[in-house]
Amino acid sequence: MKRLVSISLNVFICLCLLVATERKAWAYVDAGSGLLALQSAASVAAACGYFLRRRIRSLFVPANEPAKAVLPVAAKESNTAKAA
């Protein structure tokens, strides 16, 4: 846990330094660039959530509770004589 906090803090400091030392860019930035950056960040967050879904679920479900099926299973008919 301490290592994760240390790495996160270092990444945050590096990002702050990058933002603080920016130079003016005499160029045109398209209006859709911000949406593209937002979409990229959202897709990375969704991918992380997908790969870490079991760990995230373990935070909300007690350890002694049995795991439930994620997808519902269709019930089978017991009488197959009706099938033609």
Q: Which of 5-9, 30-34, 61-65, 72-76 has the lowest mean pLDDT?
A: 72-76
Q: How would you write the chain as a 3-class SS string?
A: CHHHHHHHHHHHHHHHHHHHCCCCCCCCCCCCHHHHHHHHHHHHHHHHHHHCHHHHHHHHCCCCCCCCCCCCCCCCCCCCCCCC
pLDDT value, residue 37: 86
Q: For 8-50, what is each residue's pLDDT tens digit?
A: 999 999 998 888 887 777 777 777 888 888 999 999 999 998 9
Confidence at 66, pLDDT banded by 50, 70, 90: low
Nearest 5 degrees, angle CA 25-CA 44-CA 15? 40
pTM over 0.85: no
Which residue in 44, 64, 48 sits closest to 56, CA to CA? 48
